[in-house]
Structures are given as structure tokens and as C-alpha cells.
Amino acid sequence: MLAVALALEGALRLFWPQDLPFFSALFVEDPVVGMRHVPHTRAPMGSETGGPVQVRINSRGYRGREYPWDAPAGFRILGLGDSFAFGFGVEEDDTYLARLERALSARRAEVINAGLAGMGPDNEARLLAADGPGLRPDLVLVGFYFGNDLMDAVTGVARTRLRNGSPMVPDAILERWYRPLRPGRILPRPLARPAPGGLNLPLPFKDSLRKHSHLYRLVTGRVGRLQLAWRGSGIGGATASAPVEEFNPFGQEAFCLKSDPPEFDLAWQKAKDAIGEIKTWCDGHDARLAIVVIPTEAQVYPERWDDVRRRFALRDSDFDLDKPQRILSEYAAASGIPLIDLLPVLRAARDTGAPLYFRRDIHWTPRGHALAADEILRRLRALGLLPAN
């Protein structure tokens, strides 16, 4: 059995590598922000670009090079956001924030990458309040990803905790939110609490396996999905003969539902409140603010949306894939916040050139970051948010 397990582990690493928590020892809990990077750390990060990429964290806990922190060398942009801003799966120089800095090098602009995996708008508002006075940005660029930022906002800044050095979502949050959404049936009624469940295999060295074993990650992921499917069969979902994976509030396109459960209204309100806090800070510190709207891959690629529909047995008629962009655009316009929507430019480029999103990952490829950087630069110039010289 051990020989078979080792052979499967080797085959998975070679032909089908799983997503492993690369950032053990990269994070530290922060009582104000929620989570931060450990300054001066280095770590390899898995990638579909052809091998692991190296992550370096500077003395302030941000990804990238050092800056003259106390004396900006020129126009300073502070990039806030989650793993898209951080640049999950790509080299540091390939992130849209690093590309933006290179494009503005003639103007001596500094673009600080304060993106962090798992960040939500509430965390970003707190980080800006804590670090902003010392950084003195001229422009704050907030990356807003519909795939998880709304769930981040509604679950709060304490939604992630470190377990053996890796960020984990506490069981209480999963029990509250990780349950089926049934378009056309439970909506818009409140979500009911599910029965306790989960995968608790009595294995020795489980934490080490979770961090290092591709076989363990594959098996636990598949068993967890089967548990959700069979659990759903008791409340009008799949039958025992044909289990279907359940769509839930953590789904990347959950907030594209035409009919929302009431909890989603709360998620939107909390996200807007966090953006309002960021704007208030910027207004009080002589800084400009712009929001960069980051779409999910299913919003960009029709075939990816077809995959999601088949996977969860969803109906097109229950969804409006452009709905989140409209809601945020209306809020930004009413609040006087410039907004850069990347959905049109990504859709226009989806059928030419290399893919914009990774095949097994929700994040952008280097080409996705390049297109985003070009569009952000174009829109910043059109909005008059960059210095003239």
C-alpha cells in the first residue's frame, strides 16, 4: 500500500499537481488588518507557467522591492487587493501593478503592491488606515474581485486564521455559509444552517500531509465534494443514484444570481461600507481613489460558464453574469469614485492569443495581467488621475 501511495504521489506531482499551501511561514495574524505577510520572507509559489515562481516580501510586508518608504521618489500609487493584485501564480514582474510601474517609469512613479491572498475590502480599508499615513500615496488603486470579495466582506476580517503556519477558514464560518444555493427554490429566503459535517480522517501527520502531499489534497478534495453532493440529496437536490455537486455562496458566480438571498444584500452593504471608508481616508489625506473591477473567468469565457453550469446543474435563466458590475458601477458613480471595469477588454481579447486565466486556477496568466495593466493605464490617463509630467 505504501509503494502504491508513493507511486501515485509521484505521478500526481509529475502529471497532475494539486494546489498546495505554498505560503507556510509567509503569513502572520494581525489584530488590526487580519493577516499580513512576514517581512523579509522568501517562498516558492506553484504556477502553471512552467515551474514554481519565487515570492519575495520586502521590509514592510508587501510583495516586491524596497522603496524609500519615508520619502516618496515621485508619484506614489498604493495597490490594494487580494491574490489578483498579489499576482498569484506569476512572477513579480508579471503582476499588473509591476507592469504599471514600468509603464510609468518616465514619471518616476512608484507602485507599491500591497495585495495579499485572502484580502477583502474590509481588510484593505484597515490596512490603508494603518499604513497609509506612513506611505503617503497620491493614488489608491483598489482591485475588487467579484469571485470572493463580497463573501470576504460579509464574513468579516476574522474569517481567516493561521493553522500550522497556513491560512485557514474557521469551521464556524464554513458551517454558516458553505451550503447549497438553490436557484428558483430557496431564494430569496434566508439561508438555513446546515447539519455539521466535514472530512475528519484519523490520519497521523495530517497537517504535514495537507501541506506537502498532492495525493492527500486530491483525495480530500474529492471526498469533500461527494459529501456535499450526498448531503444535498436529502433536501430536494441530487438523488442517491446521481449525486450533483452543490452550488454554494462561495461559488465564484454566486453573486450573479438574479434573485439573491437576503444575506447577499448584507454582503453588498458591507463591501460598499468598506469602500466608503477607503474613500473617506483618501479624501482626508489628499489622495485620489480608483476601483479596478476584476471579473471571474466564467464572466469572460462562455465555455467556462458552461463548465460551471454543468458542474452544478445550474440554469442560465437564474443568472445575470453582468449584474455585479452594474451594482458596483452604480455605487461608484453615486459616490464619485472612478471605476475601471476590465470585463469589456478581457472579453474582447479572449479569442486571440494566449489564455487570460490559468487552466486549473482562477487567477490571471501573465497575458491577463498585461492586458489589465494596459487598460488600467489607459483609463487612469483618461480620468486625469496621473501627473501631467
Please name every residue paired with 77 in a beta bridge, in sequence order, or none if there are none: 111, 139
Q: What is the pLDDT of residues 372-387, one digit of tens each?
A: 999 999 999 999 999 8
Q: What is the pLDDT of residue 240?
A: 37
Within 10 angstroms of residue 182's Cβ, the number of other Cβ atoms is 17
Q: What is the mean pLDDT of residues 10-25?
A: 62
Full set of structural domains in the chain with CATH: 21-196+251-382 (3.40.50.1110)
* pLDDT score for 228: 46
Strand partners, 111: 77
pLDDT of residue 238: 38
User: What pLDDT was estimated at residue 203?
Assistant: 46
- How would residue 243 be classed by pLDDT, with cut points 50, 70 and 90? very low
Using one digit for the tens of pLDDT, what is the confidence trace for 115-141? 999 899 999 999 999 999 999 999 999
Q: Work out the percent of the chain whose per-residue pLDDT is above 90.
A: 59
Start-to-end C-alpha separation, the chain: 67
Q: Can you give the pLDDT at residue 21?
A: 52
The pLDDT of residue 197: 47
Q: What is the pLDDT of residues 186-242, one digit of tens each?
A: 677 788 765 554 444 444 455 555 555 666 656 665 555 555 444 444 433 333 334
18 pLDDT more than 60: no
Q: Does residue 48 have a pLDDT over 70?
A: yes
Rg (the chain; Cα; Å): 21
Share of the chain above pLDDT 70, in %: 81
Give the pLDDT confidence of 157-168 residue by residue, as tens digits: 888 888 766 788
pLDDT at 372: 98
Pairing of strands 27-30, 34-37: antiparallel
Q: Which residue did the predictor score with more confidence, 53 or 338?
A: 338
Task: Evaluate if residue 359 carries a pLDDT over 70.
Answer: yes
For residues 4-32, give the mean pLDDT: 73
Least trusted range by pLDDT, from 51-65, 90-104, 178-192, 317-331: 178-192
Q: What confidence score (pLDDT) does residue 166 get?
A: 75
Q: What's the whole-number average pLDDT of the chain? A: 85
pLDDT at residue 342 tops 90? yes
The pLDDT of residue 302 is 97
pLDDT of 19 strictly over 80: no
Mean pLDDT of the 253-264 span: 92
Per-residue HEC secondary structure of the chain comes to: CHHHHHHHHHHHHHHCCCCCCCCCCCEEEECCCEEEECCCCEEEECCCCCCCEEEEECCCCCECCCCCCCCCCCCEEEEECCHHHHCCCCCHHHCHHHHHHHHCHHHCCEEEECCCCCCCHHHHHHHHHHHHHHHCCCEEEEEEECCCHHHHHHHCCCCCEEECCEEECCHHHHHHHCCCCCCCCCCCCCCCCCCCCCCCCCCCCHHHHHHHCHHHHHHHHHHHHHHHHHHHHHHCCCECCECCCCCCCCCCCHHHECCCCHHHHHHHHHHHHHHHHHHHHHHHCCCEEEEEEECCHHHHCHHHHHHHHHHHCCCHHHECCCHHHHHHHHHHHHHCCCEEECHHHHHHHCCCCCCCECCCCCCECHHHHHHHHHHHHHHHHHCCCCCCC
pLDDT tens string 313-334:
899 999 999 999 999 999 999 9
Per-residue model confidence as pLDDT tens digits over 261-302: 899 999 999 999 999 999 999 999 999 999 999 999 999 999
